[in-house]
Amino acid sequence: MNLADRFNNIKRQFTIEFQQAYAKLRSVSIGLKEVYKLNGMKIPDIDDSGYLDELYSFAQKVNVRLDEVLQFEQEVLISIPLRYGYYKGNDHIKVYSDDASFVAQRNAGELNFKLPEELFSDFKNVKLRGVKVSVRWDKAVQASDRWNFRVTLPKQKDAQGETIWEIPDYHTVGLMANNPGYVYSATRDLSIYNASLDGEWSMRLPKKSSRLTELKAADMKDIWLELLISARTI
């Protein structure tokens, strides 16, 4: 292979990698605004001269700004009873405005709800990191019971309300805890890193236990949605 061919091959490879780097940094630029609420971090416009240096400088500035933001954030686990609501000081924050709506959806095997903004009023820049589901039962349970839940997170939208990302459903396998009348199910996955909590949630409930017991969805007294979030306290 002569020098001209080698040069052309290197140039093609450089072009491919440069395009990939640009696409990633463009996504970073959007994420800085949509997720971290950082303005003024727009990716440099394409230029014929010295553009690679400008991209490198942009990446360095991004690292500095993110370090400044992340040092004040912390992970917090919030447990939200979907039926009976969440007590925050003297405020009673309810996900379902009336008990009949929760009961009807529970008995039908699928919950659909939105999380009130008041639940997160002590935080800013809230991002989802993990999901857990817990259930309180009306009846006694057995250690051999297994329950499968299917959780659908809200569609991820930009500031203009356009859907930019749909997160796959999460199947959580419930194992009986040691406490009588209590089932615990958990999932945590990096693919929900920094997801938004705004929008419509749904949770598909199993009709009955995978074991031969008499327990069914209608026996669920309340269901907790436990969220691991990353946020900055106000």
Residue 177's pLDDT is what? Answer: 44
Q: pLDDT band at residue 188, thresholds of 50, 70 and 90?
A: very low
Task: Give the pLDDT confidence score for residue 1 in this predicted structure.
Answer: 61
The band of 4, judged by pLDDT with boundaries at 50, 70 and 90, is confident
| Amino acid identity, position 112 | N
CATH of region 74-233: 2.60.120
How far apart are alpha carbons 23 and 12 in whole angstroms?
Answer: 17
Strands (E), 120-207: 123-137, 146-152, 156-157, 163-165, 170-176, 182-187, 201-204
- For 108-157, write each residue's pLDDT tens digit: 999 999 999 999 999 988 999 888 888 887 776 665 566 777 888 898 87
Q: In a 3-state reduction of DSSP, which class is residue 232? A: strand
Torsion of CA 84, 87, 90, 91, to 10 degrees: -70
Q: What is the pLDDT averaged over residues 181-209?
A: 71
Domain boundary assignment for the chain:
3-70, 74-233
**Tens digits of residue pLDDT in 17-37:** 888 888 888 888 888 887 788
Structure-block tokens of residue 127: 């991002």
